[in-house]
Amino acid sequence: MGGRGGAPGSGDDYSFVSPVVKYLLFLFNFIFWICSLVMVAIGVFARLMKHAEAALACLAVDPAVMLMVVGFLMFIITFCGCVGSLRENICLLQTFCICLTVIFLLQLIAGILGFVFADKSRDRVTWMINNAIVHYREDIDLQNLIDFGQREFGCCGAVTYTDWSQNMYFNCTQDNPSNERCSVPFSCCNLSEDKQVVINTMCGAGMQHLEYIEAGDHIYTNGCIDKLVNWIHSNMFLLGGVALGLAIPQLVGILLSQILINQIKDQIALQNYNLKHRSDPWS
């Protein structure tokens, strides 16, 4: 029988798939697989709790839909990783590795483009916020998200408080029959010094009638875009840490899957080499 070092990948009769790498990759994927199921379940539950007309009105900005989409993609990718690692299936492992690599590169490209084309990114975010304002009353999840953002950042609207006139309920035209005409949501109100236990949800009534300085005595008049940009500039290290925290698990998954793929290939090559030389002892 031929020597041990004769063929590439066949020089070690003790070539094997490391159980540490195999089950570490499985555990890594299993954790994120469970997380994806939870995300999908929460998204589906949130959608079922909404009225049909509201559910169809605002798919592009619905947090529940985004949660379901992200959760479903995570489910497919981590499923490939789980089964591929347990079954030592090269095809599934390569699919998992390629998907993670593509996602990582897309995130990297998006970050670079967002930095290089900051003005266009700002315009895109402004459009998204204005679109969310239009559908504010149609989706309770979206409404809660906007209210949370306006309270946390101390802002109102995308660029200024009068952006709320884009919403049919808060629209400031004379022929608008809504009781909330020319108002803004209560989350725009400056309640920092308000010690009332019960929040006055009508504190934004008629604020679009007031001039900028006068309205500023009662509500936040600056838009959320400027506040968001200032927050980003003030928290660059925090955002960098978050980005690194998202990148590390992806890089670990790519590394582990590639190591396991190479070990499986080496084992297959060794088996083929041994089979060949057993059938042809004179080679």
What pLDDT, in 10s, does the model give residues 152-181?
999 999 999 999 999 999 999 889 999 899
Predicted confidence at residue 242, as pLDDT, reads: 85
Predicted confidence at residue 273, as pLDDT, reads: 80
Enumerate the CATH 1.10.1450 domain ranges in the chain, comma separated.
138-233
CA 207 to chain centre: 35
Task: Give the DSSP H/E element, type plus range, for residue 19.
Answer: helix 19-48
Nearest to 7 by CA among 236, 280, 204: 280
Nearest to 23 by CA among 272, 270, 260: 260
Predicted confidence at residue 8, as pLDDT, reads: 45
Q: 248-274 pLDDT, tens per residue?
A: 999 999 999 999 999 998 888 888 887
Nearest to 101 by CA among 282, 254, 218: 254
Q: Annotate 219-281 with DSSP letters as a single string.
A: B--B-HHHHHHHHHHHTHHHHHHHHHHHHHHHHHHHHHHHHHHHHHHHHHHHHHHHHHHHH-T
Residue 117 exposure: Cα atoms within 13 Å on the Cβ side: 9
- Give the three-class secondary structure for 2: coil
Contact assessment for residue 188 and residue 219, using Cβ atoms and an 8 Å cutoff: yes
Residue 58 pLDDT > 90, yes or no?
no
Nearest to 204 by CA among 174, 162, 168: 162
Residue 13 pLDDT > 60, yes or no?
no
Predicted confidence at residue 15, as pLDDT, reads: 55
Contact assessment for residue 219 and residue 156, using Cβ atoms and an 8 Å cutoff: yes
Mean pLDDT within 126-134: 90
Q: 226-238 pLDDT, tens per residue?
A: 888 888 888 888 8
Contact assessment for residue 58 and residue 130, using Cβ atoms and an 8 Å cutoff: no
Mean pLDDT within 35-51: 83
Residue 191 pLDDT > 50, yes or no?
yes
Which architecture, in CATH terms, is 138-233? Orthogonal Bundle (1.10)
pTM of the model: 0.68
Give 149 or 17, the one with higher predicted confidence: 149
Predicted confidence at residue 187, as pLDDT, reads: 92
Inter-helix orientation angle 118-134/224-234, to 10°: 130
